[in-house]
Structure 1
Amino acid sequence: MEIQRGHYGLCDESIFEQVIDAGRLVVMAGIVDSHVHVNEPGRTDWEGFETATKAAAAGGITTIVDMPLNCSPVTTSVQALETKLACMPGKCHVDVAFWGGVVPGNQHELVPMVKAGVVGFKCFLIHSGLDEFPNVSEADLHLAMTQMKGTNSVLLFHAELDSCGCTDVTGDVTKYETFLASRPREWEQDAIKLVCRLCLQYKVRCHIVHLSSGDAVPIIRQAQSEGAPLTVETCNHYLTLYAEEVPTGATEYKCAPPVREKSNQDVLWEAIGSGVIQTIVSDHSPCPPEMKNPETGNFMTAWGGISSLQFGLSLFWTGAKEKGFSLRQVQRLLCENTAALCHLDGSKGSIAVGKDADFVIWDPEATIMIETGMIQHRHKLTPYLNRPFYGVVHKTIVRGRIVYEANQPIPSASGQPILLQ
């Protein structure tokens, strides 16, 4: 069954059947956000399973996939994965799956991590911002992809290469254009050329995370046409925000790759419509507010990451509605394709007999004004404050259990870790 309007019966072996009359609201498969930095253990003061999954539930997300950084230890070994799992019981309001990490020298951990249940791996082609998660070289990638051949796992790339030495850009550090000039589009293009070449060579599934540069779209399209098993995501901040509107000192807008110009945003929307970009995610990457330099407004030293997990459906739908996208396309981009990326499409991402009873019930015509008091993330700093968006979540249901209901207390945590078998 695809998107439905009306009432829908829900059942789970552990609870009695219940009927929810959704009226004229949309009943859609629960959203799968495949790019979330939970940061627990080790940096739970940045975010954590309790707060991140509450935010997810409030946003209609029924499954998140946790990134292998910025937690400590980083998830680059089976032992680190076990450490993460040990801190989760009783905290998760939605289901949680896990990415592993590829760093120099850990290629022999990759197959064991696949067997332990990670959905795939992420690597950086440039400094990640954390010394404990170093970027890989091309030689490291050859080793990693040799190990991954035959596993059907997927390798995610933070695709920036410092290929033109632009990190020493001078200018007013409170001006967004100074930061933007320090991470030019060429970095993404050069990195993506490398990814495409290796993807075609090894035929290992590859995925480019948070594409921000529209200039890279022709490179990706060409590789896909040549048979590269390559998929691409972009994020709500690249589709909603643009460089020309960023105020001086507003470091809550900083992320990497950076939010670029309005004309670039238009190219990304076109790439979504044509199928070059298949998934839309949050890249929720929070930090304590002081790490954003609110007193100085210094973009160059502020932490790079945008908090938005709770509002992904509203953010995307507002733009998609304006562009003429259908609700069916929304489900494909936010649910089906993200689930397929992570090998979760057997149980998540669509409404069908035999799959988990994961749903979001929402009103696409109502508007929401994002205010501090409604935010479930641990920290409330976000560039979307005091801005209206279309799309209001009424209920979120995970495996037949209501985990969020508007204007009601959030129920006790019933989410589960997901480990691939």
Structure 2
Amino acid sequence: MPTQALSLQQVSDRIRQKAREMGFGAVGFAPAHASAYGDAYARWIAEGMHGEMAYLAREDAVAKRREPAVLVPGARSAVVVAMEYFNADADPAVPGDPSRGIVARYARNHDYHDLMKERLIALQDWINTELLPVRGRAYVDTGAVLERELASRAGLGWFGRNTMLIQPRRGSYWFLGTILLDAELAYDAPFARDHCGTCAACVSACPTGALLGRDEAGAPRMDARRCISYLTIELRGPIPRDLRPMIGNRIYGCDICQEVCPWNRFATPSSEEAFLAREGLDGPSLIEWMTMTQEEFSARFKGSPIKRAKRRGLLRNVAVALGNWGSPEAVPALAIALHDEEPLVRGHAAWALGRIGTEAARQALRGREEVEQDAWVREEIAVGLGEG
């Protein structure tokens, strides 16, 4: 039964203690009032910078991001939690080895959505049972919630120029989760200071120019259509040809804007076993992955965020990375991919073979040109042969 006669501060203190016991590395509390960035978000959508992520632009989704009470009727408070996921590369040579792929650190093991959502639901149940009767809902990146704004409002850090939440002397490698509740709590002081200062290392380092600085409301701006994470995960169709060379060997997501952030020199390795890199996900062989079957994909990435890209999306990315490597060693695997059942894979394999440009690569392209029926793939083959 709920404990009687606790003050709001005592309730918040108890929740914070319990959340930390459950493995959350940071916990904060904020009022669930309207977003200060609602207009900026609407402008971002109007400019089309969300790309193909139509779920971000739905009228109901925009309204919910503006006002949490639309998302959860009666919402008055947000319990915001964070879990650190940083782990250093097992082999520091991997990022500079173009024959091996780079998977974003967050995706090298279990899907954090599942782990955190389960714990947040357990935390909400505990609050309801042990402290006070509440109604609400837990979210981990899957609802129309502006998590980073709520986290900053809850005192957990500032909204960095790289669009990440950055915690002083702890960095930005954090997963965020939120419980919206219909009860008052004692709130933390919002994090008001922007510690990015004049630093624009992330903006300068972004290979595709996706980071655009801050808008008039102070929110960092990103053109998602140019972000490597968007291109390798959210984009379902072909990666624009002009952006392919800029992706390098990043085959799922991107950490560049975090890797160059000075505050991440303070990042410490996660103690959560579920976030340690699985064998084979820290610098995988691009050639090996290029020949992956659907059965191998399903088995290898069970419970992994990488399943979001699907096999065709992942192999699209791998083909681009092989083209950027440009080694004749990749020709046999790409030649096999030219006959894949997925046009998306065949087309990007054709582009990669064109980049390599050896006689063997051209022979593979000419052979496929004779039988290819898909118009877009034929176009990619023509480009690869220098005829497009």
**Greater Rg over alpha carbons, structure:** 2
Greater percentage in strand: 1
TM range (shorter): under 0.3
Q: Give the TM-score, by structure 1 length.
A: 0.26
Greater percentage in helix: 2
Higher relative contact order (CA 8 A, sep 6+): 1
